Amino acid sequence: MMTMKLIKYIWQILDLLLYILGFGCIVGALFLWNLIAGLVGLGIVLILSGLLIDLPSASSKRGGD
């Protein structure tokens, strides 16, 4: 039981780390290509990150006002 919780916790950390590294590499490549493309890519990444952060909190609200 304890090992399953540990594996789940490690998996969440790896998931977050790979998410950050993946978007970081994409934005870094866009900045190497062009400044405007890098800024647009950074904006898109920030919008997607904001939506993904709000997604679990919106689905956890059940009923009520």
How many other C-beta atoms lie within 10 A of the C-beta of residue 22? 11
List C-alpha distances in Å: 40 to 20, 46, 60: 17, 10, 31
Q: What is the pLDDT of residue 59?
A: 66
User: What is the C-alpha separation between 19 and 54, in angstroms, rounded?
Assistant: 16
| Residue whose structure tokens are 């970081």 | 24
pLDDT of 7-50, one tens digit each?
Answer: 888 988 998 899 999 999 999 999 999 999 999 999 999 999 98
Q: What is the pLDDT of residue 62?
A: 60
Q: Is the pLDDT of residue 6 over 80?
A: yes
For the chain, the structural domain boundaries read 2-56
Question: Which of the two residues, 33 and 53, has the higher pLDDT score?
Answer: 33
6: which 2 tokens? 């540990």
List C-alpha distances in Å: 49 to 2, 16, 29: 31, 11, 18
Q: Is the pLDDT of residue 63 over 60?
A: no
